[in-house]
């Protein structure tokens, strides 16, 4: 939870590049997203009718 928001801080924070993981192409990324969305939908359907 946030207690204070500073819009223009005097000290800049440095953003570091990730150190682990793998690079994927845009086409591979879209395929991964499509697969995960299908998994999510399939999981939701199973829960909807289990009541």
Q: Rg of the chain over CA atoms, in angstroms?
A: 20
pLDDT computed for residue 29 by the predictor: 96
pLDDT tier, 47 (very low <50, low <70, confident <90, very high otherwise): low
Over the stretch 19-39, which tens digit does the pLDDT of each residue have?
Answer: 999 999 999 999 999 999 999
Q: How does the average pLDDT of the chain come out, rounded?
A: 86
pLDDT tier, 1 (very low <50, low <70, confident <90, very high otherwise): confident
Q: Distance between CA atoms of 9 and 1, rounded to whole angstroms?
A: 19
Q: Which two tokens stand for residue 33?
A: 């997203």
Provide the Cα torsion 24, 30, 33, 39; round to 10°: -120
pLDDT of residue 45 exceeding 80, the answer is no
């Amino acid at each position: 939870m946030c207690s204070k928001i500073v819009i223009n801080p005097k000290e800049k924070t440095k953003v570091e590049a990730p150190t682990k993981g793998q690079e994927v192409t845009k086409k591979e990324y879209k395929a991964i997203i499509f697969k995960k969305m299908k998994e999510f939908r399939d999981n939701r359907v199973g829960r909807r009718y289990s009541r």
